[in-house]
Amino acid sequence: MKNILTTLSACLLVSLFLVSCGGNSQEGTAVDSGKTNVSLDAQQDSLCHTPEYIAQRIDTIYKHRDDARFCSAKFLMLDAQASKLGHEMGHIYRDYDHWLSAQDIAPNWSYKIKEIKDITETTATVEMAIQNFKTNRIFLDLVFERGDWYVDNFRSHHSSTEINEKDNLLSFIYDCTNEKIDKKYAQSFNINKYLDDMIASLDVGDEVLFEKYALIDVDLDGKYEVVIHSLDAFYDAVFSLADGKPVLLVCSDPFTTLDYFEHGVAAQGGCGTGCARGEFCIIKNSRPVCRTAWMDQYNMNGDRVEGEGGYSINDKECDEETYQKAMSDIGLYVSFNPIWHPIDYSNKPLSSYAE
pLDDT tens column, 112-152: 999 999 999 999 999 999 999 999 999 999 999 999 999 99
pLDDT given for residue 324 in this prediction: 95
What does the pLDDT read at residue 153? 98
69-110 residue pLDDT tens: 999 999 999 999 999 999 999 999 899 899 999 999 999 999
Contact (CB, 8 A) for 235 and 248: no
Residue 236: pLDDT band (50, 70, 90) is very high
Q: What is the pLDDT of residue 347?
A: 62
Distance of CA 218 to the CA centre of its chain: 13
Domain ranges of the chain: 2-170, 186-353
For 5-22, the pLDDT digits (tens) are 344 344 444 444 445 576
Cα–Cα distances (Å) from 150 to 18, 20, 30, 167, in that order, read: 15, 15, 11, 17
Measured distance CA(97)–CA(342) in Å, rounded: 40
Average pLDDT over residues 26-41: 40
Would you list the DSSP string of 319-349?
Answer: -HHHHHHHHTTS-SEE------EE---TTS-
Whole-number Å distance between alpha carbons of 130 and 132 = 6
Residue 177: what are its φ and ψ, rounded to 5°? -65, -45
Of 4-13, 212-221, 227-236, the least confident: 4-13
**pLDDT class of 36 with cuts at 50, 70, 90:** very low
Query: Do 146 and 30 touch, CB atoms closer than 8 A?
Result: yes
Output the CA torsion sign for 222, 228, 231, 234. Answer: negative
- Of residues 284, 294, 282, the one with CA closest to residue 220: 284
Name the band, by pLDDT with cuts 50, 70 and 90, for residue 43.
Answer: low
Return the closest-CA partner of residue 200 out of 167, 248, 134, 144: 248
The pLDDT tens digits for 274-308 are 899 999 999 999 999 999 999 998 887 777 777 67
